[in-house]
Chains A and B, each alone.
Chain A
Amino acid sequence: MNEFLLSIGMGLCILVFLILYRVVFGPGVFNRIAALSTIGTKTLIILLIIGFLYNRVDMFVDISMVYALLNLIGTLAASKYLETVGEN
């Protein structure tokens, strides 16, 4: 079971690097915001997998909940800024 979780976690890490391309070079602000929030959700799952690997899920659930919350607030703030300022 540990090898299964470890391989899933490493696959997600590789996917994060693929999405990072969209954050850096992505055309427009909307692609960047969407890619950033996708990276946030992937980090959340990776944290939970690390928790399963160390047998301390009860602690890592707390951290990942905070991460999800801050991710939501960051996306909301960025889109709010975009609404008032405009894409340029």
Chain B
Amino acid sequence: MIQKSDDIIIKTLARILVPFIQIYALYVIMHGHHSPGGGFQGGVILAASFVILMITHGIKKTQKRISEKAVAIFSSSGVFIYAGIGAVCLLLSGNYLDYSTLAKLLHVAPAEARSLGILGIEIGVGLAVMAVMFSVFFNISKGEDVEEDKKD
């Protein structure tokens, strides 16, 4: 589906646009708790920046920036951050994802601990969503023949 294209306008546009898209995605993740957005939306925007890179520059150049192994590490570490923060809340004798118990660990007021806890959760969700969305797109665009299709 995706091949190397020689169109200089599209390539230059993508090259200029990608860093701004990524900064905007980080903004959406960081301000998720008092404006529209959050971990999922920011992760999707972050994945969109890699998708636009792959559409314009081809698979090989994108793999130099973010390889399949890195995508796997990102997705699992995102889930690990999410579940880890919840488990730390459990260890501090609270409910799962009860951020106010994090106040003992961070030495801040419980309200501020809730704000920091949801920020950590959103970072984890954003990483996982970015990696999974990108790996879905990556596996579709490689276009390998599936073995089961040939047998039929």
Question: A76 near B35 (CB under 8 angstroms)?
Answer: no
Contact of B48 among A59, A73, A80 (CB under 8 A): A73
In the assembly, what is the distance between CA of A7 and CA of B28, in Å?
A: 31
Given A65-B24, A66-B28, A69-B48, 19 new contacts (CB under 8 A): A62-B28, A62-B37, A66-B37, A66-B41, A69-B21, A69-B24, A69-B45, A70-B48, A72-B52, A73-B51, A73-B55, A76-B10, A76-B52, A76-B56, A77-B51, A77-B55, A80-B5, A83-B5, A84-B2
A-B Cβ contacts below 8 A, count: 38
User: Taking the complex as formed, is A17 at the interface, i.e. its CB lies under 8 A from any CB of chain B?
Assistant: no
Chain B CB within 8 A of A63 CB = yes
Asked if A80 meets B2 with Cβ closer than 8 Å, knowing A69-B21, A73-B48, A73-B51, the reply is yes
A21 interfacial contact with B, CB 8 Å: no
Q: Residues of A with Cβ closer than 8 Å to B? A: 58-59, 62-63, 65-66, 69-70, 72-73, 76-77, 80-81, 83-84
The tally of residues in B whose CB lies under 8 Å from a CB in A reads 18
Known: A73-B51, A76-B52, A76-B55. A63 touches B36 (CB 8 A): yes
CB distance from B11 to the nearest CB of A (A): 11
**In the complex, B63 has a CB within 8 A of chain A:** no
A62 to B38, CA, bound (A): 12
Contact (Cβ within 8 A) A73 B45: no
CB pair B56 A62 closer than 8 Å = no
| Contact with B52, one of A59, A63, A73, A81 (Cβ below 8 angstroms) | A73
Shortest distance between the CB of B14 and any CB in chain A (Å): 8
